[in-house]
Structure 1
Amino acid sequence: MGRKLKLAALALIAVAAGVYVNNTNLLTPHPSGKPVLLAHRGMAQRFDERDVKSDTCTATRMLPPTHDYLENTLPSMRASFEAGADMVELDVHPTTDGQFAVFHDWTLDCRTDGQGVTREQSMTKLKMLDIGYGYTADGGKTFPFRGKGIGMMPTLSEVFASFPEKGLLINVKSREASEGEKLAVVLNALPAERRRTIMVYGGDEPIEMIRRRTPDVRTISRAAIRSCLIRYIAYGWTGLVPPACRNAMVLVPVNVGPWLWGWPNRFLNRMTDVNSAVFVLGPYSGGESSTGIDTPELFARLPQSYSGGVWTNEIETVAKLAGKSKDQSATR
Structure 2
Amino acid sequence: MNKKLKYAAAAITVFGAAIYLNNTNHLAAHQQSKPVLLAHRGIAQRFDERELKNDTCTAARMLPSTHQYLENTIESMRASFAAGADVIELDVHPTTDGEFAVFHDWTVDCRTDGRGVTREHSMAYLKKLDIGHGYTADGGKTFPFRGKGIGLMPTLAEVLAAFPQQRLLINVKSRDASEGEKLAAVLDKLPAERRAQIMVYGGDEPVEIVRQRLPDVRTISRATIKSCLLGYIGYGWSGVVPKACHHAMVMLPINVAPWLWGWPDRFLSRMKAANSEVFALGPYQGGEFSSGIDTPEQFAQLPQNYSGGIWTNEIEAIAPLVGK
Q: Which residue of 2 aligns with 1:165?
A: 165
Q: Aligned equivalents of 2:28 and 2:187: distance in 1? A: 36
Shift of residue 40, structure 1, vs aligned partner: 0.3
Shift of residue 307, structure 1, vs aligned partner: 0.6
Q: Aligned equivalents of 1:140 and 1:288: distance in 2? A: 27
Q: Which residue of 2 aligns with 1:128?
A: 128
Deviations 1:135-194 (A, max 9, x none): 011111111001100110000011111111111000000000000010001111111111
* Matched length: 324
Shift of residue 290, structure 1, vs aligned partner: 5.4
Change (3 A) 1:174 1:261: same
Partner AA of 2:110 in structure 1 = C
Partner AA of 2:188 in structure 1 = N
Matched, 1:34 2:24: no
Deviations 1:222-246 (A, max 9, x none): 0110111001000000000001101
Q: Which residue of 1 aligns with 2:103?
A: 103
Q: Which residue of 1 aligns with 2:57?
A: 57
User: SS where residue 26 of structure 1 aligns?
Assistant: helix
Q: Give the fraction of aligned pairs with identical amino acids, expressed as a percent.
A: 73
Matched, 1:198 2:198: yes
Partner AA of 2:77 in structure 1 = M
The worse-fitting range, judged by mean Cα deviation, of 18-27 and 228-237 is 18-27
Deviations 1:81-109 (A, max 9, x none): 00000000000000111110000001111
Question: Could you tell me whether the CA contact under 8 Å between 1:134 and 1:143 is conserved in 2?
Answer: yes
Q: Which residue of 2 aligns with 1:256?
A: 256
Q: Aligned equivalents of 1:289 and 1:217: distance in 2? A: 20
Deviations 1:191-228 (A, max 9, x none): 11111111000010001111100111000100110111
Q: Which residue of 2 aligns with 1:87?
A: 87
Q: Aligned equivalents of 2:84 and 2:316: distance in 1? A: 7
Q: Which residue of 2 aligns with 1:327?
A: none
User: SS where residue 38 of structure 1 aligns?
Assistant: strand
Ranges of 4+ aligned residues in structure 1 off by more than 3 Å: 286-290
Q: Aligned equivalents of 1:110 and 1:301: distance in 2? A: 34
Shift of residue 288, structure 1, vs aligned partner: 4.1
Q: Aligned equivalents of 2:165 and 2:4: distance in 1? A: 63
TM-score normalised over the length of structure 1: 0.96
Shift of residue 118, structure 1, vs aligned partner: 0.6
Q: Aligned equivalents of 2:288 and 2:218: distance in 1? A: 22
Q: Which residue of 1 aligns with 2:45?
A: 45
Q: Which residue of 2 aligns with 1:317?
A: 317
Shift of residue 286, structure 1, vs aligned partner: 3.2
Q: Aligned equivalents of 2:212 and 2:297: distance in 1? A: 40
Q: Aligned equivalents of 2:47 and 2:109: distance in 1? A: 17
Partner AA of 1:86 in structure 2 = D
Deviations 1:263-282 (A, max 9, x none): 00000000011110100000
Q: Aligned equivalents of 2:285 and 2:54: distance in 1? A: 17
Q: Aligned equivalents of 1:3 and 1:235: distance in 2? A: 30
CA-based RMSD: 0.8
The within-5 A match list for 1:205-284 is 205-284=205-284
Deviations 1:122-145 (A, max 9, x none): 111111111001101111111100
Matched, 1:19 2:19: yes
Shift of residue 287, structure 1, vs aligned partner: 3.4
Partner AA of 1:52 in structure 2 = L
Q: Aligned equivalents of 1:284 and 1:294: distance in 2? A: 14
Q: Aligned equivalents of 2:261 and 2:305: distance in 1? A: 18
Question: Could you tell me whether the CA contact under 8 Å between 1:253 and 1:290 is conserved in 2?
Answer: no
User: SS where residue 234 of structure 1 aligns?
Assistant: helix
User: SS where residue 25 of structure 2 aligns?
Assistant: coil
Question: Could you tell me whether the CA contact under 8 Å between 1:93 and 1:118 is conserved in 2?
Answer: yes
Shift of residue 322, structure 1, vs aligned partner: 1.3
Change (3 A) 1:211 1:155: same
Q: Aligned equivalents of 1:277 and 1:187: distance in 2? A: 20
Deviations 1:281-304 (A, max 9, x none): 001123344510000000000011
User: SS where residue 47 of structure 1 aligns?
Assistant: coil
Partner AA of 2:172 in structure 1 = V
User: SS where residue 225 of structure 1 aligns?
Assistant: helix
Structure 1 unaligned segments of length 5 or more: list them: 325-332
